[in-house]
A and B are shown apart, each in its own frame.
Chain A
Amino acid sequence: MSLYYLTAHELHDLLLKKEISAVEINKAVFNRIESVEDSVKAYLTLTRDQAMKTAQDVDDMIGAGRPIPPLAGIPIAIKDNMCAEGVRTTAASKIIYNFIPPYDATVVKKLAGQHIAMTGKTNLDEFAMGSSTENSGFFATHNPWDLGCVPGGSSGGSAAAVAAGEAVCALGSDTGGSIRQPAAFCGVVGIKPTYGAVSRYGLIAFASSLDQIGPFTRDVTDCALMLNAICGHDPLDSTSSMYEVPDFRRCLVHDIKGLKIGVPREYMSEGIDAEVRQVIEKAMAIFELNGASIEETSLPNLGSSLPVYYLIAPAEASSNLARYDGVRYGFRSEGVQDVVDMFMKTRSQGFGAEVKRRIILGTYALSAGYYEAYYGKASQVRTLIMEDFKKAFETCHVLLAPVAPTPAFKIGENTDDPLTMYLSDIFTIPANLAGIPGMSVPCGFSSKGLPIGLQLMARHFDEDTLFKVGYNFEQVSDFHDKKPTL
């Protein structure tokens, strides 16, 4: 296997054995970027010099006999909605096309503390609003498995980079499925941790009660290493949890005997692609063979998740995006008459179509006379959805479902109708509304060779069980080892 396709833990072992150097690893990844980036288009900004410098530092540490953290020298990409000091951060929006953050996001700072080699900033749907990375204000990213298909979204650049060998791991953010859905479409592992597990400080806000940062990796072990590095309380994020972070590696054991896996029937009903259903059912059989029991369960209000999400998320977004007014940073429209004219022109020229659509929808849902009927109602139904999950977890340890109803779709296929695009998040949104952790694990391929993902969901702060079940599946399958031909 090429160096750029190894996992972080494999590379770490090779570093410790001094069989390779961190500089060699990074050279291999940047050479790979050079040869495939023109067709994948995963990155908005590359930080090669910075990465090579860190790699050299790590090699010096090894040379001096100093211990190195598990992710030291590993090439890792960051979604471009997380601030990295001195590195252009755009959220793929023209409205902040030139923003140079004066500080690091907490996750970026934590990874820097591990001496990771940051490869660059990856493409996304503008402000993370979208499911295909086609809404980027700059260009679309392509799926490494089929360049005519989308990589999913909104963290499509991060997922595609890991799948294409352009980074070993990556960070993404997940508001309604933006880590799990692209992970599934690109055949990599992705986890959205429990709301509050990872600090959101320095993450450009989309919908603050739903946003959560998480990793993309090539296997479940790397996923545990990444989560170990980024979890934990942060005084700079008042919603970040005081929960004590375990070493998630303790869950990487092969035993799932006696585990009760629930399959919500609403996830397996109409609207799901036949091939997706087939591979999910195969996965269920594998878990049974490994000693777990599969039980059908129900989340009766699941059907309401999509409308609830598309009221709550745009409502929160409309208020979060009020800050982009051309005063303190980013784009400012020229030739304006007064300050209100400046706000109007700056925002109209700076935001893309989907962002404007959601700001209008959200402002409408929050406006006088409609607040109770829309936002108020959605917040109540959100409670019902949370109660459904609570009830399901009374009898099941973990829930199993598809990540998305279909494999990756064609570029341009869903861009005319926002509603069809929204439907591709239908299976990932519920975990965000309930704040529970969800993981996407590669579990098969369609007849056209496109990856399909298995979704695992657990109780609040029970990432342990996700790692355990994901790891178990990985031990008896080889889907995560398959690589696209580019």
Chain B
Amino acid sequence: MIKKSDVEHVALLARLELSDNEKEVYTRQLNDILGHFESLQKLDTTGVEPTAHVLSLFNVFREDKVDRHLPLEKVLANCPDRDEDCFRVPKIV
């Protein structure tokens, strides 16, 4: 059973600010959704490997050298606030 305080905790982890109404609604809906998922807990998965990727995975290596990349102006063109060649944000500490 998910409590409102769980939703508050998770929202903080996800950097979301929720209104009281949103907290109520999401608490109820998450309980509904996770209740529907209880069926999974009944399945016996002892010794079953988890799947993170459907095709056989292998590492993709490349040489550690500078490849084609975007010019700085294009990278910065979309940012809400900049200071010369940097992204500017409000104070951190």
Contacts and interface: CB of A to CB of B under 8 A. Distances in A.
B27 to A, nearest CB: 10
Contacts of A342: 89-90
Interface residues of B, number: 48
Contact of B17 (A209, A344, A386): A344
Given A209-B52, A338-B92, A382-B50, A363 B29 contact: no
Interface in B48-92: 48-55, 60, 62, 70, 74-75, 77-81, 87, 89-92
A304 B40 contact: yes
Nearest to A461: B55
27 contacts: A102-B77, A103-B74, A196-B55, A209-B52, A301-B43, A310-B33, A311-B37, A322-B15, A339-B92, A342-B89, A356-B16, A359-B14, A360-B16, A360-B30, A361-B33, A376-B50, A377-B40, A377-B45, A381-B48, A383-B49, A383-B50, A384-B43, A384-B45, A384-B48, A386-B51, A418-B29, A419-B36
Contact of A343 (B6, B10, B15, B54): B15
A364 B22 contact: no
A330 B16 contact: no
Contacts of A310: 33, 37
Interface in A351-410: 351, 353, 356-357, 359-361, 363-364, 367, 373-374, 376-384, 386
Contact of A383 (B2, B51, B55, B79): B51
A237 to B, nearest CB: 9
Given A303-B39, A304-B43, A418-B32, 17 more contacts: A195-B55, A196-B55, A209-B52, A301-B43, A327-B80, A328-B87, A330-B78, A347-B14, A347-B17, A348-B16, A357-B29, A367-B10, A379-B50, A379-B52, A381-B45, A386-B51, A435-B55
B75 A378 contact: no
Given A102-B74, A327-B87, A418 B55 contact: no
CB-based closest 8 A-B pairs: A435-B54, A379-B50, A329-B78, A102-B74, A332-B80, A380-B45, A307-B37, A238-B60
Given A345-B17, A382-B50, A100 B78 contact: yes
Interface string A308-332: 1011000000100010011111111
Contacts of A341: 90
Interface of A: 98-100, 102-103, 195-196, 209, 235, 238-239, 241, 301, 303-304, 306-308, 310-311, 318, 322, 325-332, 336-345, 347-348, 351, 353, 356-357, 359-361, 363-364, 367, 373-374, 376-384, 386, 418-419, 433-435, 460
A103 B70 contact: yes
A328 B79 contact: yes
A196 B55 CA distance: 8
Given A330-B78, A363-B10, A380-B45, A102 B70 contact: yes
A280 B36 CA distance: 28
B90 A378 contact: no
Nearest to B38: A307
Contact of B36 (A307, A382, A384): A307
A17 to B, nearest CB: 41
Given A338-B90, A359-B16, A364 B32 contact: no
A337 B15 CA distance: 15
B59 to A, nearest CB: 9
A62 B37 CA distance: 58
B13 to A, nearest CB: 5
Contacts of B89: 327, 339, 342
Contacts of A386: 51, 54
Nearest to A345: B17
B5 interface: no
Contacts of A344: 15-17
Nearest to B88: A327
Contacts of A332: 80-81
A357 B27 CA distance: 10
B17 A380 contact: no
A336 B37 CA distance: 38
B51 to A, nearest CB: 4
Contacts of B78: 98-100, 102, 328-330
Residue among B2, B40, B74, B79 with the highest chain A CB neighbour number at 10 A? B40
A380 B29 contact: no
A360 B17 contact: no
A199 to B, nearest CB: 13
A285 to B, nearest CB: 33
A347 B14 CA distance: 9
Nearest to A314: B33
B51 A419 contact: no
Nearest to B2: A364
B17 to A, nearest CB: 4
Contacts of A308: 40
Contacts of A306: 36
Contacts of A419: 32-33, 36
B81 to A, nearest CB: 7
Contacts of B70: 102-103
Contacts of B51: 379-380, 382-383, 386
